[in-house]
Amino acid sequence: MTDAAPRTALVLVNLGTPAAPTPRDVRRYLSEFLHDHRVVDLSRWLWCPLLHFVILPVRGKPVAKKYASIWMDGVDGGSPLAVYTRRLARAVQAQMPDVRVVEAMRYGKPALRSVLDSLRADGIERIAVLPLYPQYSTSTTGAVTDVVAAASPDARVVEQYHLDAGWVDAVAATVRSARAGFGGERHLLFSFHGLPERFIRRGDPYQQQCEASAAAIAASLGLGRAQWTIAYQSQFGREKWIGPSTQATLREFAARGVFDVDVVAPGFAVDCLETLEEVGEMLAHEFAQAGGRMNYVPCLNDSAEHARVLADIARRALA
C-alpha cells in the first residue's frame, strides 16, 4: 500500500436485496426494484396499481419466507447476495492495494448513488464501476449506467465480461472441482436468469451473451455439444420470457432418464435467492422427486480466483 490515500476507486455493483427477511423489508426492496423503468417499462397508470395493490401485498410474505430459508447467520451475516458481495469487495481490495475498492447496490443499501457521491467528496479522481453482471442487459447493467451517468459521468463502466478468458476458466474450474467426486456420465445445465422476450426483440444482447458464455465455458471443459444445455430461470409475471425454462428442462431430463445433472449459474456473480432457494432448494427437490440427482455448483462468490479475475478486468478498465 502506498502512503498516500488512493485517488482511484473501484465500485463493485450488485442488484440489491432486502435488509431483513421480513415481509416489510421484502416489499420495500421489491418496490424500489420494480419501480425502475429499466426493469418494468409498462405505463405507470397500468403498473402502479398492479404493483401496489397486487404484487407487493401478495409477494411480501411468501418471498420473505424464501429469504429466511437462505439467510446467513452471524455478526457478518445477512442476505447471501449482500454477504458475498461485501466479502468479494474485501477480496478484490486485497488484490488492488492502491485502489479503494467498495461495494454498492443498485436497489437498497449501500446505494450506488450515495457511494459515488461520497467517493467524489473524498477527493477520488478516477472511478471504475464494475456491475457484477457478466452478461449485459438493459434491465441490469443499463440500470447501473443510468445512475453512473447522473452521479459521476466520467466514471468508466465495465459493461460486460461474458467472454473474459480468466472468468471463463474460473467458472470452468468450479464445475471441474464440483464434478470431481462423481464418476460416470454427467450432464451440465447452464441456468441463467431469464428476461422477457420483448427485451431481446428490442436489441438486448443478453441472450446471445449467455449462449456465448456457456459455449466458452463448455469448450474450456472440453465438453461435446450433447453434454450441456442452456436454460433460463426466475420467470416473473405473465409475459413470455426467453426459454427454455430451467424447471421445464429438468422435468424433461427426468422424463428422458437424464438423472445425473450438474447445474451452474454463470449469470450470477454470487449466490443469492435465485440460485440457493430456487435452484438449490426448490428445483433440486423437484428433480429428486422425479428420480434425479442434481449437483448445484456454487457461484464464484468471494473466492480468491474470482477476486483475481475481477481485479484484472478492473485494472484494464482503469488503464
Q: 244 preceded by cis ω (within 30°)?
A: yes
Q: Which is nearer to Fe ion, 42 or 48 (CB)?
A: 48
Q: Specify the long-range contacts of residues 218-224, CB closer than 8 Å, at least 24 apart.
A: 218/188, 220/168, 220/169, 220/172, 221/172, 221/175, 221/176, 221/188, 223/188
- Residue 18, SS3 per DSSP: coil
CB 106, CB 116: distance < 8 Å: no
What are the residues binding ligand L6N33NVT (CB under 6 A)? 15, 17, 30, 39-40, 59, 63, 79, 81, 133, 137, 139-140, 193, 195, 206, 234, 236-237, 267-268, 272-274
Distances (CA, A) of 214 to 92, 168, 180, 184, 266: 25, 9, 20, 22, 8
274 marked as part of a ligand binding site? yes
Give the Cα-Cα-Cα angle 234, 286, 206 (nearest 5 degrees). 25
DSSP letter, residue 73: P
Question: Least separation, in Å, of the C-beta of 185 and Fe ion?
Answer: 33
Residue 81 binding target from Fe ion, ligand L6N33NVT, none, CB below 5 to 8 Å by type: ligand L6N33NVT
Binding string to Fe ion for residues 15 to 54, with x set by CB under 5 A, is what?
---------------------------------x------
Residue 48 binding target from ligand L6N33NVT, Fe ion, none, CB below 5 to 8 Å by type: Fe ion
Residue 275's identity, in one-letter code, is T
CB 297, CB 174: distance < 8 Å: yes
286 marked as part of a ligand binding site? no
Question: Least separation, in Å, of the C-beta of 279 and Fe ion?
Answer: 13
Query: What's the grid cell of residue 161?
Result: 465480461
Q: Which is nearer to ligand L6N33NVT, 38 or 179 (CB)?
A: 38
Question: Least separation, in Å, of the C-beta of 41 and ligand L6N33NVT?
Answer: 9
Instruction: For cell 457484477, name the residue.
Output: 132
Residue of 276, 294, 275 whose CA lies nearest to 182:
294
Q: Which is nearer to Fe ion, 47 or 259 (CB)?
A: 47
CA distance from start to end of the chain: 19
Helices (H) then strands (E): counts for the chain: 12, 8
Question: Least separation, in Å, of the C-beta of 117 and ligand L6N33NVT?
Answer: 24
Q: Which of residues 88-147 bind Fe ion (CB under 5 A)?
A: none
Q: Which is nearer to ligand L6N33NVT, 71 or 259 (CB)?
A: 71
Question: Least separation, in Å, of the C-beta of 108 and ligand L6N33NVT?
Answer: 9
Question: Least separation, in Å, of the C-beta of 299 and ligand L6N33NVT?
Answer: 10
Residue 63 binding target from Fe ion, ligand L6N33NVT, none, CB below 5 to 8 Å by type: ligand L6N33NVT
Q: Which is nearer to Fe ion, 48 or 288 (CB)?
A: 48
Chain residues that interact with Fe ion, rule: CB under 5 A? 48
Binding residue numbers for Fe(2+):
193, 274
